[in-house]
Structure 1
Amino acid sequence: MKKFHQPGVKPYLITKSLNPENQETPIQFINNNIVDGNLFYRRNHFSYPHFTSSFYFLPIHGFVHTPRTFSLQEIYSLPSRTIKVVLECSGDKRDFFEPKAFGEQWEKGAISQGIWKGVSLRTLLQYTGVIDAAKELVFEGYDYGERPDSDQMVNFSRSLPIEKALEPDTIIAYEYNNQPIPFKHGFPLRLIVPGWYAMASVKWIKSITVIDKEFKGPYQTVDYVYYPNKEDDSGKFPVTTINVNSTIQYPLNRQLLTTGLYHIKGIAWTGKGSIDKVEISLDDGHTWETCQLTSTSEKYSWVSWNYQWEVLKKGEYTIKSKATDSHANVQPSKPFWNRKGYGYNAVDHIKVKVE
């Protein structure tokens, strides 16, 4: 069986920008279902925040019966919840849209996965209570800066509808892979919203405010919104649940190969349910065969898949992968184009040449 990478050589993050820092996971070289913190993709709107975590407190106020401020020690002492979650930037694969969409030109690596531990948000809310009129919870991060479309300084803030906030697996996390969350990924506390694109999982939580109306912050109503039309805002709707998707990890696009037996490898994931099936095409989508799922298909996490390909004939090949989830969602042949380039999930494809 021929390999597509050289053992013993370590991968690095793929830099997209440095200020703010945006770097991709080298997803083609991730060989297990847990991504080390140093290879977890980095997505920022602003420079990293400055605060002293030893004096860190989390206030919850607004439409609650009893406003309360929690210390880290109090949060650590509460019953914990541990979940394996894939976090995918909603702009993942933006570079592949046609026509092109403006924004960070992510390729396939704005996605990572690991094990998060924290306390269910609903557990914290049991201490404050929630007034019946409450509709949303607003999460404000410590990261702030100036938006390109405004001369005002703003914090990164997002809201969740009360129903999503109260789901048991919506957690305030303090550990990643059995270690404190790395600072660049939200230490000391990060919201984790399984099944939704990662803009919802606010880092460096500064405060939680319960409100009785829709939150109108720019990262809720301007960004992270699907705009189907290029010229106007008609038909817009919010970015929420992760679309069913797959990525071919090996071989690499435009790789030169020789004849022989190859181990084609990849991952597949979805925001609702789990992955039921991954198919592969070796002839540009004319015929499809079922891949072997090599890891357990779990809620919130990706599944690894592979296919043994014996190639005897020289020439150029277009390899495609297509995932189906337990809700019968299937990757489309073409993505849903939108002006800001969110939610790309078209059938993945690469080209290789056998010499």
Structure 2
Amino acid sequence: MPIDESAYDRRRLRQWLAGEARAEGVSRRDMLRLAAAAGVLTTLAGRPVRAYADTPAPGSGIVKPLPPELFTIRGTNAETNWSALRGTGLHTPVDRFFVRNHTSTPLLDEASWRLKVWGSGLRGAPGLDRAVEFDLHDLRRLPSVTLDAFVECAGNGRSYFTSQQGDTVTGTAWTLGAIGSARWRGVRLSQVLRLAGLTRHAVDLQPRGLDDEYVTGGVNLGRVRRPLPVAKALDDVILAYEMNGEPLPHDHGHPVRVLVPSWVGISNIKWVGDIEVSDQPLYSPWNTDFYRLFGPSHPAEGSAPITRQTLKSAFETGSGAAFDAGVRHRLTGRSWSGAGGIRRVEVSTDAGATWRRADLHDRPRPATWSRWSLDWRPTTPGPTALLARATDTTGRTQPDTTTPNTQGYLFDAVVRHPVTVVDRPAT
């Protein structure tokens, strides 16, 4: 049965603020020390601390080639250039799928890889030393499931808070290329949990990656990990070992990653090495200090941890592209939502003065995007802006502006895409 995510988020926030959630591996002292090094002053459980944002380290640490026509490198991350997606089909090719790393891509040997499942929410496996282990062969012997789903960083579109709205935010200055959609194959996490001895007392689970420990503000936060409610894990989460019909590449989680459809990218832990299953609420920096909303429009202690992605649209053309006047052009793009499928996309070619409905090329489906197109014959030379505005199957439409938050998460407003119409002389 699907979980009531908003109720879960609110409950976990109250429990964490009350000190009822267990903070494995991070002390309260370290948390406050880290917070004091950082960003915007907020109030947390009655004490003044600062919300902080992750800052990519110098050097990418990424294995695959990053040619400039496909990617914009942003510290340890690589953003896909949207013009590189034109004509690529529903699934993003691996060679142009964005990369979000906290440190650097580890090179793991699949033959020696093991997944350890442990914790107080299992029968007889309270500690990591008594974990139930699965190797890749064990997972491949189980019934597999294949699904189409996007993975998107929670900060995708962050730069538009500043460039379009004048808001000050922190974090990696993504445009709209921190997303990719693929066909994933793996095993349902629910099946693995039941084989490991899941009990009815389990409430949270926490996958943890095998990449390097993450250090920020002078504090070692350990390996990347983020709790999930057990109800979500039993619903649609998979342990993926293939991407677009091939074994997972190193940059995308080889040999196994967690795939959480429609949720923010941090939930989709790459290079998963262990999963703690707990009969108590769990805490990590990635669901309290990170990936919550802070700012004047949000509660003083911050919002509940963010889960589902929001609604966005993007054109498959470069910013500042030139279009010949008097010539018919085919504008293409994609829209997506964490809440459902895409029902309608409207496009403006005159900076929002008028709108026309685009042709959709994919049926509305949850967890993945829909491609669309519109013919345009510009007549007036000069600068203009292309705008795309999507409506999803829940009835939500992209707004003109997004309520700001200090870390620049979940930007969902209509993006102004600058282009120029040129009147080329006849030859």
| Residue matched to 2:230 | 162
Aligned runs of 1:211-290 on 2, under 5 Å? Answer: 211-229=278-296, 233-250=300-317, 252-259=318-325, 260-290=327-357
Residue 352 of structure 1 aligns with an amino acid whose one-letter code is: V
What is the alpha-carbon distance in structure 2 between the residues aligned to residue 231 and residue 328 of structure 1?
24
What is the alpha-carbon distance in structure 2 between the residues aligned to residue 262 and residue 162 of structure 1?
49
What is the alpha-carbon distance in structure 2 between the residues aligned to residue 42 and residue 107 of structure 1?
14
TM-score by length of 2: 0.76
**Offset of 1:153 from its aligned partner?**
5.0
Of 298-307 and 41-50, the range deviating more from structure 2: 41-50
1:109 to 151, 167, 177: 177
2:257 to 190, 198, 207: 190
8 Å contact kept, 2:70–2:84: no
| Residue matched to 2:373 | 306
**Offset of 1:10 from its aligned partner?**
9.4
Of 272-281 and 229-238, the range deviating more from structure 2: 229-238
What is the alpha-carbon distance in structure 2 between the residues aligned to residue 24 and residue 324 of structure 1?
25
> 1:188-218 CA deviation, whole Å, 9 max, x = no partner?
1100000111110000111011112222211
2:149 to 85, 95, 105: 85
Provide closer, same or farther for how the CA distance between residues 135 and 243 of structure 1 changes in structure 2, counting only shifts above 3 A. same
Provide closer, same or farther for how the CA distance between residues 231 and 278 of structure 1 changes in structure 2, counting only shifts above 3 A. closer
2:84 to 9, 22, 29: 29
Larger strand proportion of the pair? 1
**Offset of 1:302 from its aligned partner?**
0.6
For the pair 1:137 / 2:205, whether they are aligned, the reply is: yes
1:297 to 336, 355, 364: 364
Ranges in structure 1 where 5+ consecutive residues have no aligned partner: 1-8
1:14 to 66, 69, 72: 72
What is the alpha-carbon distance in structure 1 between the residues aligned to residue 259 and residue 70 of structure 2?
25
| Residue matched to 1:4 | none
Provide closer, same or farther for how the CA distance between residues 153 and 340 of structure 1 changes in structure 2, counting only shifts above 3 A. closer
What is the alpha-carbon distance in structure 1 between the residues aligned to residue 194 and residue 214 of structure 2?
36
**Offset of 1:12 from its aligned partner?**
2.5
> 1:244-299 CA deviation, whole Å, 9 max, x = no partner?
1111123x322232211111111000112200000011232232211001223322
What is the alpha-carbon distance in structure 1 between the residues aligned to residue 398 and residue 73 of structure 2?
28
What is the alpha-carbon distance in structure 2 between the residues aligned to residue 187 and residue 164 of structure 1?
23
What is the alpha-carbon distance in structure 1 between the residues aligned to residue 97 and residue 228 of structure 2?
24
1:180 to 229, 244, 247: 247
2:139 to 34, 58, 75: 75
1:317 to 356, 380, 384: 384
What is the alpha-carbon distance in structure 2 between the residues aligned to residue 231 and residue 311 of structure 1?
42
Q: Percent identity?
A: 29
- Partner SS, residue 226 of structure 2: strand
Aligned length: 342
| Residue matched to 1:5 | none
What is the alpha-carbon distance in structure 1 between the residues aligned to residue 247 and residue 290 of structure 2?
30
What is the alpha-carbon distance in structure 2 between the residues aligned to residue 299 and residue 97 of structure 1?
26
- Partner SS, residue 123 of structure 1: helix
**Offset of 1:101 from its aligned partner?**
1.1
> 1:74-104 CA deviation, whole Å, 9 max, x = no partner?
1000000000111111111111113131111
Residue 256 of structure 1 aligns with an amino acid whose one-letter code is: A
What is the alpha-carbon distance in structure 1 between the residues aligned to residue 112 and residue 274 of structure 2?
14
| Residue matched to 1:210 | 277
8 Å contact kept, 2:108–2:255: no
For the pair 1:148 / 2:208, whether they are aligned, the reply is: no
**Offset of 1:313 from its aligned partner?**
2.4
Residue 177 of structure 1 aligns with an amino acid whose one-letter code is: N
**Offset of 1:235 from its aligned partner?**
4.1
What is the alpha-carbon distance in structure 1 between the residues aligned to residue 107 and residue 386 of structure 2?
46
Residue 292 of structure 2 aligns with an amino acid whose one-letter code is: V
- Partner SS, residue 266 of structure 2: helix
